[in-house]
Copies of this chain bind each other. A is one copy, B any other.
Amino acid sequence: MPPDQLSQTLSALADPTRRSILARLSIGDATVSELAEPYDMSLAAVSKHLKVLEGAGLISRSRESQWRPCHLEAEPLAAVSEWLEDYRRFWDRSLDSLADYLKTMKTTNPKPSRRSPKSSSRKLKK
């Protein structure tokens, strides 16, 4: 049984080398050798990491003569972000402030201070 998409994505992201590779790719596309250069490991090992990332849909690869340039595909990250949203209220202090603010509005309707920018990222549950 293949693991669900989210598990596959998270497990791909759980390796620091792979996250580092993604960071590199966020700058721009790169070949396997270019990607391998910073690491003290064989090319084959990096090739494996790329396979994992590709399997998770986090990168795509084209062919350009003998090179296989890798390209960042961030869509699976959006799924992670969506999953996280359900938990945001558990850590986002400013959301508590927002809750307080709304509550205060309802009860006393004072002139509240400005909210911090951080609180604006809450999205509606779907």
Contacts and interface: CB of A to CB of B under 8 A. Distances in A.
Q: Which of A10, A74, A83, A117 has the most CB of B within 10 A?
A: A10
A43 interface: no
Contacts of A16: 3-4, 6-7
A25 to B, nearest CB: 10
Count this chain's copies in the assembly.
2
A70 to B, nearest CB: 14
Contact of A90 (B4, B6, B77): B77
Contact of A120 (B13, B81, B121): B121
Interface of A: 3-4, 6-7, 10-11, 13-16, 19, 22-23, 26, 72, 74-75, 77-78, 80-81, 83-84, 86-88, 90-92, 117-118, 120-121, 123
